[in-house]
Structures are given as structure tokens and as C-alpha cells.
Structure 1
């Protein structure tokens, strides 16, 4: 969490820029493509966007297609080895596709700091969501502007590490 809690002009400037509508129009087309390319070239060790916020590459199963989908995302690491994923979609109207994928297929994988981790995602609701949302706003204040721009409730998922899948012989 240290990256997001940095103070100073640079952090405030990035937060201000990332809160704007122009950023919401351009960023979804540029940032994920750059992140995927750099992540692939560095064999999972680097995400450009993680220079400001912690990040993962989430691999889900497509809700409709059943195909594997890889999405670079900012994340909020939590104590106890869990991660909070925020379906902000940069403050754009629709839910991001990866959230529908997790709703349909909660077993997924994240690449975290060069390590592939099998995870299970759970959509947060009620008081648990409210507490996580408050933590997310402290972590990255622009989420409040994203929520103010959209009518939908931004989806929040907690992902937890799960045991690796085993084959018929009990091997991972």
C-alpha cells in the first residue's frame, strides 16, 4: 500500500489527472495495452501502472465465451494475503467485463509481483462492502469521483488465494 499512500505534489497530480473525464476516455485504451505488453516482456515482474498503485494481472474465464481473459488492474493488497479489486472502469458508465467474468466464474488467477496465484473472488455487499469502499477511498481518493460520475454501484471484489487445482493423480 505504500505507493498509494505517498504524499506530495506528484501523487496529488496523478490523482487529479486520473479523476478527470478525459482520462476516463483515453486511459482504458492505452494503460491496459501498455501494461499487458510490459508484463509479458518482463515475464510478469513489471506493470507500468503499478508505479503509482499496486497492480495485478487478473486471468478470468469469459462469462459468455468461456475463453481465458487477462486484464491488468490496480488492486488494494489487504492484510492477511487478500486483495481488493475495484470495478471502477475509470468512472465510465458500464461495469467492466472482468467483473461479469468473476460473477460467472469466481475461480481465477492473479499475477502478483511475478508470482501466479490461484484465487477465488467474492463480490462484496452490505456492511462488508461499505467498509471495503471506505478503505478503497482512503487508498485511492479518485474512486469517489468515479462513483459520482456513474449511476451504477461500483463492484468490489475480495480475492483470496485458493489451493491449486489438482489432476486425477493429485498433482497440482
Structure 2
């Protein structure tokens, strides 16, 4: 799920096979969400629709989400490796074009807001409590994973 950069190649970028496999897995999860079944490994999943920052092409990425206060949703840009995942880069570059699809629902426009400081810390605590494996994953990384609040527009 998501854009994980976990190949054994130098530079931390995935090889052709890893990219092909990720594309297949994402497409399968997207079909599942659109059929109204949005969970993976015990986490709720939505489809994040973005526009490629370099290509301008539409992108659809299944992403785990966590409840936020009110009607927002929290997502974590983990993605493995030393760089942020492609979906995060695309989301921040073209925030005004982003939408999400919740299981069984049509795409709805959202506004992303990258959380910082105490706001991020509080959100991270909720996420790590809900899914301790994400905190463990973070502890093995040399970068702090961005946390983004997605709110309806």
C-alpha cells in the first residue's frame, strides 16, 4: 500500500519490478475500497486522488487514515526510505486538486494541512496508540514522518 521505496537498489528508489508490484497492489486495494471494503492490516483505508507534481497526470493511492477531531482524517507520509512518498509530494504540490474516496463513496474534495509542532505531536500520539506498528516503523527511520490533516472542502 502507498509508495514504499524498499528495493535493494542504491539511492533508495525502487526498481522496475518493485514499482510494477506496488502498482498492482495499489490497484487491487483501490478496487476493494470502491466496493465498500476499506481496511488493510487492521487500518482504515481511503483512496487519495492527487495530480503528479512533475507529470500533471492523475494519481490514485490507497492510504491508511486515522480519525481526527471533527470531520477531518489524518494520514502519515511514511513510505519507507529516506524520502517522503510520491503521494505526499503530489498532494502538497497540487493541494487544490486533491480528493479522497472513502469506502463505497464518490470522490470528495479535501484540503490538506501538514501538522507541525504540538499539533503534530498530539495527532502522532493518537495515531501511535491506534497503530503501534507505525510508531515502530517511525523509530527505524532517519526522518520524521509528516502527518497531514485532510478536511472536507
- Pick the TM interval, shorter chain: 0.7 to 0.9
Q: How does 1:27-42 map to 2 (within 5 A)?
A: 33-40=24-31
* Map of 2:67 onto structure 1: 77
Q: How many residues align?
A: 137
- Residue 104 of structure 1, aligned match among 80, 93, 101: 93
Cα displacement (A) at 1:47: 3.8
* Map of 2:146 onto structure 1: 155
If you compute each CA radius of gyration, which structure gives the higher value, 1 or 2? 1
What TM-score, normalized to structure 1? 0.69
What TM-score, normalized to structure 2? 0.77
Contact 2:50/2:99 (8 A) holds in 1: yes
Cα displacement (A) at 1:154: 0.4
Could you tell me how far apart the structure 1 residues matched to 2:22 and 2:55 are? Answer: 24
Contact 1:120/1:160 (8 A) holds in 2: yes
Q: Deviations over 1:78-123 (max 9, x none)?
A: 241110010111x432210111111111131111021121111111
Higher relative helix content:
1
Gap change, CA 1:41 and 1:125, over 3 Å in 2? closer
Consecutive unaligned residues of structure 1, counting only runs of 5 or more, are 1-22, 163-172
Q: Deviations over 1:111-155 (max 9, x none)?
A: 102112111111111111111111111111112222121111101
Segments ≥4 residues shifted beyond 6 Å: none
* Map of 2:132 onto structure 1: 141
Consecutive unaligned residues of structure 2, counting only runs of 5 or more, are 8-17
Q: C-alpha root-mean-square deviation of aligned residues, in Å?
A: 2.5
* Map of 1:58 onto structure 2: 48
